[in-house]
A and B are shown apart, each in its own frame.
Chain A
Amino acid sequence: MSRPPSEPDLHGYLDDALSPERRADVAAWLEAHADDAARVGLWRAINAGMGELYGPVAEEPIPPQLRMLAAGPERRRLGGLPMAASILLALAVGATGGWVLRGLDRVAIQSIAPIASAAAALPHDAAVAYAVYAPEVRHPVEVGADEEAHLCQWLTRRLGTDVKAPKLDALGFKLVGGRLLPSDKGPAALLMYEDAAKRRLTLYQVRGTPQPGSTEFRFAEENGVNVFSWFEGNAGFALAGKLARDELLRAAKATYDGFKS
């Protein structure tokens, strides 16, 4: 050991900011000087402690408003337009047997194709959740509509994305309540609605984006359950029920509008 390490040397040793030679010198000094070794050891423990105290924040789901912001001003200005456009797309494709797709240029087709595959699980998961819980008589939900605010707060926290219960009263459906579900993508939310005839609708929501900035509106049928699904912000939504397609579509529109407002 040629010379005793300076204060910056001791920090540089901890922060890996020394040349290999100087580093070896400081290491040798610390071997022989327990008091300095203890100081550096405590600084190291402080680094580790800060990591434990604050580190989990970096692992939390990013709040939707920050994620949206990161997408840039262009996207915010467009607002719900891509959604409206893709609803139209889904309807037009459905109505004309898909031939209009051939009229689009390649860029558009490329931008649509990956969404369809990534989004495929959503209607299925929603149809399964409907099939399991909609027939339930005594325990259809975990938290009832009388605690709607608490329900939405709870599900928002668990999903890491805004969960709201849109009003579907105009269509005769009232909120029954909701529950938390497991899914491949993490926690999912299921809200249940019911009309006077005891017909039920479920709104399934899970955090996830098929592709940043993209939205798509899809219709699917699975074992007699009709499902409309779409992505908005950082969440996927799917409205499921044993309703005719047209009626379910009106409910999906009301849900989409209710969520945006």
Chain B
Amino acid sequence: MNMAAQIAMGSGGLAALHSAALLKVGDGRAVQNQHLIEPHIGSLRRYARALVRDADRADDLVHDCLERALSRWHLWRGEGNLRAWLFTILHNVHVNNVRRDMAAGRPVQMPEGIELRATPPSQDHHLMLNDLAAAMTRLPDEQRQTVLLVGLEGFSYREVARITGVPIGTVMSRLSRGRERLRELIAGPDESKIRKAK
């Protein structure tokens, strides 16, 4: 119904008024979903950006994750950690994307650093962030996921095990190897840069 037609209806619009009220009531469930999911979009975007670097691809990942979450909303029982559940879905979408890209022979894009904040507190600090951004790109995907989920997103080892679908021992070894690799890449074989970077 276009607006001009509605205007022409004048006082005959009472029935439509009632349907307006019904629309708002019928919208309740959707609004409830939004209230629950929206607070997590920020951290999903942060993790996705760290994972695939390219901002558009990262938001596509979040988009697919939310779409899947909503289509499976009935599977979330309204208890437990919604954020971990959303990250599990995002993880699965990401893994499927990587697998599909590899099967199609497309190069799997690795993050290559990220735009730095405009005013780093100090020159050493700036170097450290640049080194870190570069080093992150050189981690195997599984190690990067684990280091980010624990160190950036603050998930427990148990939650990371559930999100990435591996035993907790695997989480620990990925975390350990990932952090050591980053340390070597940043500090180099001699440990002299460690003190500088801190």
Contacts and interface: CB of A to CB of B under 8 A. Distances in A.
A72 B29 contact: yes
B25 interface: yes
Nearest to B176: A7
Given A63-B59, A72-B70, A100-B14, A54 B152 contact: yes
Interface string B1-44: 11110110111011011111101111101110111011001110
B30 A49 contact: no
B46 to A, nearest CB: 4
Given A50-B152, A85-B20, A42 B186 contact: yes
A168 B16 CA distance: 28
B67 A50 contact: no
Contacts of B148: 50, 54
Nearest to A72: B30
Contacts of A51: 152
A131 B172 CA distance: 63
A185 B18 CA distance: 32
A63 B61 CA distance: 13
A38 B187 CA distance: 11
Contact of B38 (A56, A58, A67): A67
Interface stretch (B75-83, B94-102, B126-134): B126-134
A53 B71 CA distance: 32
A259 interface: no
A58 to B, nearest CB: 4
B34 A70 contact: yes
Contact of B20 (A49, A50, A108): A108
B66 A54 contact: no
A212 B34 contact: yes
Contacts of A212: 31, 34-35
A213 B34 contact: yes
A103 B179 CA distance: 66
A111 B70 CA distance: 24
Main SS at interface, chain A: helix
Contacts of B91: none
Contacts of B47: 54
A71 B67 CA distance: 10
Contacts of B138: none
A107 B26 CA distance: 11
B162 interface: no
Given A111-B21, A111-B25, A45 B63 contact: no
A46 B23 contact: no
A145 interface: no
Nearest to B38: A70
B128 A11 contact: no
B89 to A, nearest CB: 13
A100 B152 CA distance: 54
Contacts of A67: 34, 38, 41
Q: Which of B46, B63, B186 has the most chain A CB within a 10 Å cutoff? A: B46
B72 to A, nearest CB: 12
B67 A69 contact: yes
B149 to A, nearest CB: 11
Given A42-B187, A56-B117, A70 B37 contact: yes
A92 interface: yes
A104 B62 contact: no
A84 interface: yes
Nearest to B148: A50
Nearest first, the 8 A-B pairs at minimum CB distance are A108-B21, A85-B20, A72-B30, A58-B42, A47-B151, A58-B46, A74-B30, A54-B50
Given A50-B148, A50-B152, A88-B9, 19 more contacts: A15-B151, A38-B195, A49-B132, A50-B50, A50-B136, A52-B129, A58-B45, A59-B42, A67-B34, A69-B66, A84-B2, A85-B16, A85-B23, A86-B20, A88-B17, A95-B10, A96-B11, A108-B18, A213-B27
26 contacts: A15-B150, A42-B183, A42-B194, A42-B197, A42-B198, A45-B197, A50-B50, A53-B129, A54-B49, A56-B117, A58-B42, A58-B43, A62-B45, A65-B63, A66-B66, A67-B41, A69-B63, A73-B30, A74-B27, A78-B27, A81-B23, A84-B1, A92-B11, A112-B24, A212-B31, A213-B24
